[in-house]
Amino acid sequence: MANLIGPDVSFYQDDNNTTQGINFTKMKQAAGYVIIRSGQNVWIDSDFVTNWNNAKAVGLPRGSYWFYDSRVEPKVQADLWFSAFDGDLGELPLFADLEEAYGGTYTGWRHWKTFLDRIKAHVGNHEVGIYTAYYYWISRIPTNPTDLNYFHQYPLWIANYGVTTPLVPKPWSANEWLFWQYTGSGNGALYGVESPGIDLNYFNGDQAAFNQRFNLGTTPPPPPPPPGPVWYKVTASILNVRSGPGTNFDVVGQLQQDQVVKGLETSADGAWAKILREADGLTGWSFKQYLSLTTPPPPPPPPPTGEWFKVTASALNVREGPGTQFRSIGLFYRNEAVQRLETSADGNWYRVKRNYDSLTGWCSKDFLAPTSAPPPVNEETYDWFEVTATTLNVREGPGTNFKALGYLTKAETVMQFEATADGAWRRIQKVDGFTGWASGQFLKNVGKTPATAMQKLFKGVTYFRKTRLSPRKLVSHTLLLDLKAAAFEFLVTPPLRNTEPFLCTATTSKFLAKHQLHLAINADGFYYLDKTAFPPAQYCPDGGEPVRLVGLAASRGRQYSAKAPGRPVLYLSKKNVVSFDKVSDNVFNALTGDRYLVTKGKKVTTLESSSKDPRTAVGVNQNGRFLVLVVVDGREFSEGATFPELADLLLAHGAYTGISLDGGGSSTMIVKGADGKPRAVSKLLDDNIPGQERAVANHLGVFIK
């Protein structure tokens, strides 16, 4: 039996920046029905009337839901809901959406009962149902069987993602669900909406059962599928591919969520699809319940030509498009090697990429000459140089006739990417991406893996890179903040709301850019919340997933999340006074650590010492003047640090007290780059993918006035 699919929609599916709304004609081609949001609290959904009428106009069966809000009297909400229909109640039930967690005056099942009784009184014989999620429901239902059984009269619309069969709470039995919301990431374009994703639902039956259940008459057989292949998008996080259409067949491979595959055929019972993943030719059978119809993927871009060119101009503009009318986004310099990616239609401009920093744009072919490919980018390929002059100008090109971009100071150590043939000028770069040419006369070679590299990044901020090769490779990054040398403002990630979930995951780079900061590191440990109870589309409209912190946090005087026993808390006052566990004034900024590493200027003696991972730590010196931020690379880039080694790094920079923060793939150090954009200082690694940045719960950021 093939369950009939239909979406549920609200104003979220309409982009207010465009003139069009939902295309219900297109939706009808892919869906058997639609459930439309009517409103919440004392608000009618801004698109309800339009959506309700347009769905009817194309003959799409309609249901409705109202998001119950505990901050408003239930009868008031029911009255407003009924008034929205203007006598047209639709073809499917009206569902009371019970999932909120505002903690208002009208929280609890007794108020739900009032709400349901009121809407029933309004609609007469028209069916009323309940939408909820398993864990949300069981934590709030009455324990008295009589009270619980009251709700059994209402058909159930259950939300449960990533499973083959939904969890159904009492008082309903296991298969006693009417609709099942099985994903929140359907293909929006396929269903005619403007949002990228869309909620999708199964009806507990096929088209014939649906028509019979809602007295819709018979439906003519569906038209034959359009010519050409069918395409599916995977909705499960992992989906097995088997040698035949059933779980008794061997697994021959796996698909990942959101991968697009070609449908080759369907099993006789309609439950399995034979698919082809074109990227590697994987072919086999997958359960159709986790395959959503989608549009064909765009054709892959033509591969890069792979040809390399040498810059012949002293400085060559890199532009956003193929012509001088496009904005310059950077410069390439004489003798730099760049790779051609494509050629303009008229053949006069090449889109090229510089190897070491990935600067990509369009350049005139008149200043590019064919050359051989440079060696691959690897930090240990390049030498580091220490500045020997008191100050050393950094210029646009290799000579004093080029404009000065800035300067280096004595003992700063920078990486060299290239040099003139005579070594008189060297092209160098700092960790924030500041790049230019400096006189080789005042640069001393300190090798490919110097034990320590120091750079001045911002006023009051010094960066240290330490490399240890024995007994194993260990690379660390430290930012030392002199709180007396500049005007610092600290920021812990602000909460999104006053109730849980307080936070949604975001990368440290996104946090830095959003708040226009100079520095940022990851902060507290966290747990992911149940998506059925806290749908990301509802709670995280800007992306990410709803999460819960392991301990206390505060941002600019707003304290959120509860304190965790046994975990240290770092407090940063409005005047930048740093303290641990005790605060003398109102809490301003605060975050929770994993454990103490350093107390009273000494390493904690009971630290676990066997695990070696990427790490993040924060410490302060005895008089509170210097704040120390440390991130250790691990896994793909160095072997990581033990907790005692992390403590040693804090002590090496004068920490009197220090704690570890969330580590592993979460460990991240980001700075504002020389181009104004976030730039990773530490090596990024998420899900074992080098260069991929993990989205985490909260962060510690620094703004320098």
Residue pLDDT, tens place only, 246-271: 888 888 889 888 889 999 888 877 78
Paired tokens of 638: 């160095």
Q: Are the C-beta atoms of 656 and 598 separated by less than 8 Å? A: yes
Asked whether residue 631 is domain-assigned, the answer is yes
Comparing 114-128, 220-234, 288-302, 519-533, the range with the smallest average pLDDT is 220-234
β-bridge mates for residue 443, sequence order: 387
Asked whether residue 649 is domain-assigned, the answer is yes
CATH number of the domain within which 132 lies: 3.20.20.80
Q: Are the C-beta atoms of 458 and 704 separated by less than 8 Å? A: yes
Domain-ending residue, one of 450, 469, 484: 450
Asked whether residue 301 is domain-assigned, the answer is no
Asked whether residue 303 is domain-assigned, the answer is no
What mean pLDDT is predicted for residues 169-187?
A: 92
Residue 93: pLDDT over 70: yes
Q: Are residues 591 and 700 in the same domain?
A: yes
What mean pLDDT is predicted for residues 217-224?
A: 54
Q: Are residues 263 and 119 in the same domain?
A: no
Q: Are residues 314 and 243 in the same domain?
A: no
Higher pLDDT: 197 or 1? It is 197
Residue 499: pLDDT over 80: yes
Q: What's the confidence (pLDDT) of residue 305?
A: 53
Burial of 671-683, coded b for 16+ CB within 10 Å and e otherwise, reads bbbbeeebbbbbb
Confidence band for 226, pLDDT divided at 50, 70 and 90:
very low
Which residue in this structure is represented by tokens 């993602």?
161
Q: What's the confidence (pLDDT) of residue 307?
A: 85
CATH number of the domain within which 242 lies: 2.30.30.40
Q: Are residues 634 and 562 in the same domain?
A: yes
Strand pairing class (5-9; 34-40): parallel
Q: Are residues 429 and 497 in the same domain?
A: no
Confidence band for 223, pLDDT divided at 50, 70 and 90:
very low
Domain-ending residue, one of 398, 418, 450: 450
Confidence band for 685, pLDDT divided at 50, 70 and 90:
confident
Q: Are residues 267 and 353 in the same domain?
A: no
Q: What's the confidence (pLDDT) of residue 562?
A: 87
Asked whether residue 225 is domain-assigned, the answer is no
Residue 115: pLDDT over 90: yes
Q: Are residues 336 and 391 in the same domain?
A: no
| SS3 category, 368 | strand
Confidence band for 329, pLDDT divided at 50, 70 and 90:
confident
Q: What's the confidence (pLDDT) of residue 524?
A: 95
Q: Are residues 329 and 390 in the same domain?
A: no
Paired tokens of 117: 């009784």
Q: Are residues 415 and 469 in the same domain?
A: no
* Residue-number span of the structural domain to which 587 is assigned: 461-704
Percent of the chain scoring above 70 in pLDDT: 94
Cβ contacts of residue 485 below 8 Å, gap of 6+?
459, 460
Q: Are residues 172 and 100 in the same domain?
A: yes
What mean pLDDT is predicted for residues 526-548?
A: 90
What mean pLDDT is predicted for residues 14-19?
A: 79
Q: Are residues 64 and 201 in the same domain?
A: yes
Q: What's the confidence (pLDDT) of residue 598?
A: 97
Domain-ending residue, one of 450, 469, 501: 450
Cβ contacts of residue 276 below 8 Å, gap of 6+?
261, 262, 264, 282, 283
Q: Provide the 8-state DSSP code for 613.
A: B
Higher pLDDT: 256 or 364? It is 364
Q: Provide the 8-state DSSP code for 52.
A: H
Q: Provide the 8-state DSSP code for 594.
A: S
Higher pLDDT: 576 or 332? It is 576
**Per-residue pLDDT tens over the stretch 67-83:** 999 999 999 999 999 99
- Between helix 109-123 and helix 74-83 the angle, nearest 10°, is 30
State the DSSP string of 409-445.
ETT-EEEEEEE-TTSSEEEEE-TT--EEEEEGGGEEE
Q: Are residues 429 and 476 in the same domain?
A: no
Comparing 162-166, 233-237, 359-363, 378-382, the range with the smallest average pLDDT is 378-382
Comparing 439-443, 464-468, 581-585, 699-703, the range with the smallest average pLDDT is 581-585
Residue 227: pLDDT over 60: no
Residue 231: pLDDT over 70: yes
Domain count, the chain: 5
| SS3 category, 407 | strand
Confidence band for 380, pLDDT divided at 50, 70 and 90:
low
Asked whether residue 220 is domain-assigned, the answer is no
What H or E segment, with its residue span, contains residue 261?
A: strand 260-266
Asked whether residue 222 is domain-assigned, the answer is no
Asked whether residue 578 is domain-assigned, the answer is yes
